[in-house]
Structure formats: structure tokens, C-alpha cells
Amino acid sequence: MEGNQNDYFVVKAKENGVQVIGLTRGQDTRFHHTEKLDKGEVMIAQFTDHTSAVKIRGKAVVITKHGVIDTDQ
């Protein structure tokens, strides 16, 4: 898991109210943290011992070492 903790990702909101939702690790996956971004706001985050996945709601651009994802497409 240590390798995953070095994986940063960037979320840039393309509209107001974009939600970035952290999901827990473990046997039961649950929501554990939510951030709300407004248009133009940028969030830089990384995976942790507690966060294994992230869900994005709304129009945003997500940038990772694996590439760029536009939620409009």
C-alpha cells in the first residue's frame, strides 16, 4: 500500500458544486470524506491508509499519472 500513497491526483472543477468523495479501504467500502469545489477551484489529493478510491460528481477534469479524464466525455 505504501506505493499507492505516493499517487497524487488533481481535480479541477468545471462547474459549481463538484463533489470529491473519498471512499474507505477495508472489507466494507464507505464514504468517509466529501469536498465541494466551485468552478475553477483545484484540489490536489493523494491516496492514504484510509482512502482507497475517489468518486467525482459533476463536471471536472481529473489529472493523474495515468492521464487526463474529462467527466464531460
Chain segment 17-68, per-residue pLDDT in tens: 999 998 887 777 777 788 999 999 999 998 888 778 888 999 999 999 999 9
**For residue 37, how many other CB atoms are within 10 A of its CB?**
21
Q: What is the pTM of this model?
A: 0.80
pLDDT of residue 73: 60
CATH code, 2-70: 2.60.40.50
Where would I find the H helices in 1-73?
Answer: none
Contact 62, 55 (CB under 8 A): no
More confident residue, 3 or 33: 33
Contact 18, 59 (CB under 8 A): yes
pLDDT of residue 25: 77
